[in-house]
Structure 1
Amino acid sequence: MSTLYTESRIGNMLLKNRFIRSATWENMATENGHMTDKLYAIYEELAKGEVALIVTGYANIVEEEKPNAGMMGMYNDSFICEYQKLTELVHQNDAKIVMQLAYGGTKTTFNVGERVIYAPSEVCERGTQTLGKAMTQDEIDYIVRAFAQASRRACESGFDGVEIHAAHSYLINQFLSPYYNRREDSYGGSLNNRMRLLLEIYAEIRKVVGDNYPVLVKLTASEFFEGGLTFAETRLICQKLQAIGVDAIIISGNIHGKADTMIGECFDGYKIQQEGYFHEYGHVISEEVSVPVITVGGLTDINAIEEIADKTNIQYFALSRPLLSEPDLIKRWKEGDRAPVDCERCSKCRTKRGNFCVVNKERKLKIAGF
């Protein structure tokens, strides 16, 4: 356990242990993406539960677009004051907090047909079957600037860093993907061209937040289907991200709702694991880059996490559903209580009243306000 509870740094951000609450869409913001009392309470409870770093649910960077209802917003300066209250609350409890920024694109079924949805090319998202508009250069520039301005607001709000969501078939991931990106201009074709949007976003963010502000990038290890982004390409992307100064890389996947059927299957030469779905992929990348690598997905067993920490160069472990069930889980583990986590990986935590554990009845009633 000593490694998991040692201090370390992501950029200049000092973390008290190696546990992260991964970005989790709570579905509890207002219609316009503003904070609510329930959201403040959730983040305060997580901070008190000994999580070293909390990553917010994804925040939309432009007002006219969001992948889901109830998500947090960061599309204008009106959010800064209420987020200052949030970051102060987290910092008072000796935790750090990073805002995840995203443009959803066609990975959505929210208000489709009522708004323009950008995409690299006119290719339907495989899960949602939503079709987007192939972006012009002006539209690409608009989104690049929007990511940068959202990062500026995060910095002014007291967030300890930002996480660029470049995974899970959202817009940046689609530009990286040869399946979704059929462009014939400087943003399509070769991997260097498909990386261009992500690199431009990162460069523009650095212009407004400076060189010392932590910027993390979340990537999909592989798209796990024929013709999609491969793990070999993701490894090259990670090496490029290290070269330009990214502070940490999160290795994830896009297997929501399919994990149970995919565990044990091999893709690109590596296996999706029962505990830590993508840690084999993260291990490989951690051997090839010097920036911290974070693994996320399917982490519920403290013994398995210890083993991964001991046998790989993966430095951080990000959890979502277990912390919906037990926000004080890290504290419990630290105190030596290794009882099984309440989380059953059922994914029934996504409800119309917000996302919370429905297995842990006491937790359900508390979050629902009863």
Structure 2
Amino acid sequence: MSIVFSPASIGTMKLKNRFVRSATWENLATDTGHMTEKLYAVYEQLAQGDVGLIVTGYANIVAEEKPNAGMMGMYDDSFIPEYKKLTDLVQRHGAKIVMQLAYGGTKTTYNLGERVIFAPSAVAERSTQTLGKEMTTAEIDYIVNAFAQASLRAKLAGFDGVEIHAAHTYLINQFLSPYYNQRKDQYGGSLDNRLRFLVEIYQAIRKQVGAEHPILVKLTASEFFTGGLTFNETRQICKKLKALGVDAIIISGNNHGNANTLIGQSFDGHTIQQEGYFREYGAVISNDIDIPVITVGGLSDIHAIEDLAATTNIKFFALSRPLLAEPQLIKRWAQGNNNQVDCERCSKCRTKRGNFCVVFKPRKPSSGLRTRIGQR
């Protein structure tokens, strides 16, 4: 059997294969971020489809910060029992589940004017033009602690680990970026200073969850524009995070929904690929560090994934949109059916009624559950 269907580990978390459902904003939680029956059905169907690891849609860590409608929450203890139901549901099918935690910041146009949005500096986000409030050190401490407490709740709810979202121009990514971070204090300037916020978040989480509980970090390979975070800096960040004890790193991009428009273009000496947008960046980092590297974005061909597994040190392969159309895709591949995936990469999956494939009806597992999901 292909290596991609063989067991592997992330820290103490043992996975049945190398496939990851990447963090996905489903837009199906309640207004306050609580679970719904549709959302439970999404995750059960994914687990039935033999995905090795499921990363949840991003969850907000403080009640007052919500970058998108219908997103999950983990900002107080009321979430623990309903997420325990979720983790039990997933794990009974042999899958593992990690909660992605995030502070969105200015990468949003949702409910502007109704809330204070933190940012490292008074620099508008390039795609949304949203301007945030430059954080005080007390506010930084507040968010660091919120990440830690949310991670502890996730552990108590039975999650197999947590993922820190430090990519996609969300708050942590902005602290890392020399474009967005114009601070003159200990959190700005040098790369070590810009990294300090993420390091403090990681250390606070580790203190709460213990040495053995897996912590993953999602990073942007490069910001792909002049003055932004470079790939060389990301490589240095990965080495520092490995030294601190991070269990795995997900290498993504900063082109939400637009990476396909950059296919064939080169940035920082590497090229955006048709199959696996950021694979070249992930391959380099997988040689830099000896913890698992996960590549995400534009993966949909099993043969290309198998080639990546055979020719690079990348250990895990994350998909989102292909699983919108086919939640049973991994099981189909494992059974030897390597026909072209249903997903057309049309990016029509974000709707006002939730995020789901509008082109194909998901193939039903034996339980008859349906799914609605969309990439995050």
TM-score (norm 1): 0.98
* In 2: Cα distance, 1:105 partner to 1:211 partner: 29
CA distance in 2, matches of 1:199, 1:152: 17
Instruction: Give, in angstroms, the shift of residue 302 of structure 1.
Output: 0.5
Cα distance 1:363–1:48, how it changes in 2: closer, same or farther (>3 A)? Answer: closer
CA distance in 1, matches of 2:209, 2:262: 40
Which residue identity is paired with 1:328? Q
Shift of 1:208: 0.6
2:30 partner letter: T
What's the CA shift for 1:361? 3.5
Q: 2:46 aligns to what?
A: 46
Q: Kindly state the Cα deviation for residue 197 of structure 1 after the two structures are TM-superposed.
A: 0.2
Answering whether residue 344 of structure 2 is matched by residue 344 of structure 1, we say yes
1:173 aligns with 2:173: yes
**Distance across 1 between alignment mates of 2:16 and 2:371:** 27
User: Are 2:238 and 1:238 equivalent residues in the alignment?
Assistant: yes
| Residues in 2 aligned to 1:157 and 1:295: alpha-carbon distance in whole angstroms | 27
Q: Report if aligned partners of 1:357, 1:363 keep a CA contact under 8 Å in 2.
A: no
The answer as to whether partners of 1:106 and 1:124 remain within 8 angstroms in 2 is yes
Query: Matches of residues 268-287 of structure 1 in structure 2 within 5 Å?
Result: 268-287=268-287
Corresponding position of 2:56 = 56
Match of 1:321 in 2: 321
Indicate yes or no: 2:44 matched with 1:75: no
2:97 is equivalent to residue 94 of structure 1: no
Deviation readout 1:52-95 (Å, 9 max, x if unpaired)? 00000000000000110000000000000000000000011000
Measured after TM superposition, the shift of residue 362 of structure 1 is 5.5
Query: Runs of 5+ in structure 2 lacking a partner?
Result: none
Deviation per CA, 1:194-217, whole angstroms, max 9, x where unpaired?
000000000000111000000000
The total of aligned residue pairs comes to: 368
Aligned to 2:7: 7
Any conservation in 1 of the 2:326–2:362 contact (CA below 8 Å)? no
Report if the CA contact (8 A) 2:42-2:370 is conserved: no
Equivalence for 1:107: 107
TM-score using structure 2 length? 0.96
Distance 1:240 1:110, change over 3 A: same
Q: Which residue is equivalent to 2:35?
A: 35
Q: For the residues of structure 2 that align with 1:311 and 1:291, how far apart are their CA atoms?
A: 17
C-alpha offsets along residues 268-314 of structure 1, whole Å, 9 cap, x if unaligned? 00000000000100000000100000000000000110111110000
Whether the aligned pair in 1 keeps the contact of 2:300 and 2:341 (CA below 8 Å) is yes
Which letter does structure 1 place at the counterpart of 2:332?
R
Letter in 2 for 1:19: F
Q: Secondary structure at the residue paired with 1:174?
A: helix
Q: For residue 142 of structure 1, what is the amino acid of its counterpart?
A: Y
Structure 1 residue 251: Cα displacement: 0.1
The residue type equivalent to 1:360 in the other structure is F
1:120 corresponds to: 120
How far did residue 8 of structure 1 move? 1.0
Matches of 1:366 and 1:280, distance apart in 2: 35
User: Secondary structure of 1:195's match?
Assistant: helix
Q: Secondary structure at the match of 1:40?
A: helix
Question: 1:128, 1:293 → 2: CA distance?
Answer: 30
Query: SS in structure 2 opposite 1:225?
Result: coil
1-structure distance, mates of 2:191, 2:94 = 41
In the TM superposition, what is the alpha-carbon distance from 1:260 to its structure 2 partner? 2.4
Identical columns (%) = 73
Q: Deviations over 1:330-351 (max 9, x none)?
A: 0000000011100001110000
Q: Any runs of at least 4 consecutive aligned residues in structure 1 with deviations exceeding 6 A, and if so which?
A: none
Partner of 2:24: 24
Q: CA deviation at 1:254?
A: 1.5
Identify the residue that residue 140 of structure 2 maps to in structure 1: 140
The one-letter code matched in structure 2 to 1:173 is N
Could you tell me how far apart the structure 1 residues matched to 2:214 and 2:52 are?
A: 15
Distance, in Å, in 2 between the alignment partners of 1:185 and 1:206 is 25
- 1:203 alignment counterpart: 203
Q: Name 2:267's counterpart in structure 1.
A: 267
Specify which structure has the bigger relative contact order, considering alpha-carbon pairs within 8 angstroms and separated by 6 or more residues.
Answer: 2
Q: What's the RMSD between the two structures over aligned residues? A: 1.2
Cα deviation for residue 5 of structure 1 reads 1.1
Task: Find the aligned partners of 2:114 and 2:193 in 1 and give their Cα distance.
Answer: 31
> Match of 2:92, as an amino acid?
Q
Does the CA-based 8 Å contact 2:324-2:362 persist in structure 1?
Answer: no
Shift of 1:322: 0.3
1:99 counterpart letter in structure 2: M
Code of the residue aligned with 2:20 in structure 1: it is I
